[in-house]
Amino acid sequence: MIKKNVLIFGSTGQIGRHLIRKLTKNNYKVICQTRNSHKAIFLKTSGSIGYIEIKEANIFDISKLEELIDSSDICVNLIGILYQDKKNTFKRIHSDFPELLAKICEKKNKNLIHISALGLENIKDSDYAKSKILGENRIRELLKTATIIKPSVVFSVDDSFTTKFMGMLSLFPVFPLYYKGSTLFTPIHATDIAELIYFVIKNNLYAKDIEAIGTKEISFKEILKILAKSINKHRLFISLPYPLARLSASLLQLFPKPLLTIDQLKLLKYNNIKSKDGMTNFDIGCPSKIDFEEGVKKYSYNWTEGGQYSRNSVK
């Protein structure tokens, strides 16, 4: 028996793919919003026939959004960007779009689960952080029943965090450490985020702020060491003074897909861990299960010698 219809924005991303499988396996029908239905056709293999519907829509087309939200029971927003351009700015994606979703969900009396980010409340010098907080505030003002999930850094074979650094570590024998590598993270696997979203839906845990954290706190330097070890590389880590770090970021952000931006460098200054009074996934009975080091081992072979993304892979 098919249960509620769940509308997912950002369905082709790393969390979306895991969430689709989790929901369809438990008899929820999923409506996947995408910018290009042809590129998203692979999502059809994530569940049984009839359980996945792909809908092409511009996220700022109000009439289309209302149509999609009308046809669903629950709306999940996974859309986010790590760097901005002239078309897709942080404010447009992280603030304006969530506000639009909240307005329509309030009008249609629908539940909304919004994915934000952890540890941003006190960050004043990052445009990314400010746009995320503004988005949260706008949702809270418009839709009191919304649940906002705030993950630490999310990792998986489809991420843009561990995979980026493993690629860089496979190339460079000397690697820079920003802020001495002391910044703390609590990495959480995309599967555990999908499990948490499903847990919220299954148990009707709305009108809550939930901090999504992994199994343990790890410093940035420890993360890099784990990644280097997982691809069988011995690397020398050198602390980079901020002026040099900023200069390197200003160059690296010029790439079509920036390796590091000045805004991301600012974020690296702040711990990405549970807040003092925050309620986590562990507190509500949905603990993370995948350890960072063990989780990375399952896909790091792609960046080892001869792996698909290694420097010496066979072309």
pLDDT tens-digit series, residues 201-232: 999 999 999 999 999 999 999 999 999 999 99
Q: Which range of residues forms the domain containing residue 151?
A: 5-158+186-216+274-289
Question: What's at 62, amino acid-wise?
Answer: I
With respect to residue 234, please indicate whether it lies within any of the assigned structural domains.
Answer: no
With respect to residue 258, please indicate whether it lies within any of the assigned structural domains.
Answer: no
How many whole angstroms separate alpha carbon 1 and alpha carbon 208?
29
pLDDT level of residue 147 (50, 70, 90 thresholds): very high
Q: What is the mean pLDDT of residues 232-240?
A: 95
**pLDDT confidence of residue 306:** 64
pLDDT at 2 over 60: no
With respect to residue 171, please indicate whether it lies within any of the assigned structural domains.
Answer: no
Q: Residue 30 maps to which CATH number?
A: 3.40.50.720
With respect to residue 62, please indicate whether it lies within any of the assigned structural domains.
Answer: yes
With respect to residue 245, please indicate whether it lies within any of the assigned structural domains.
Answer: no
pLDDT at 1 over 70: no
Q: What is the mean pLDDT of residues 273-298?
A: 97
With respect to residue 211, please indicate whether it lies within any of the assigned structural domains.
Answer: yes
Number of domains in the chain: 1
- Tens-digit pLDDT profile for residues 262-271: 999 999 999 9
How many whole angstroms separate alpha carbon 263 and alpha carbon 175?
20
pLDDT level of residue 312 (50, 70, 90 thresholds): low
With respect to residue 99, please indicate whether it lies within any of the assigned structural domains.
Answer: yes
With respect to residue 35, please indicate whether it lies within any of the assigned structural domains.
Answer: yes
Taking residue 294's Cβ as centre, other Cβ atoms within 10 Å add up to 11
How high is the mean pLDDT of the chain?
Answer: 93
Q: Which of 42, 41, 8, 38 is nearest to 23 (CA)?
A: 8
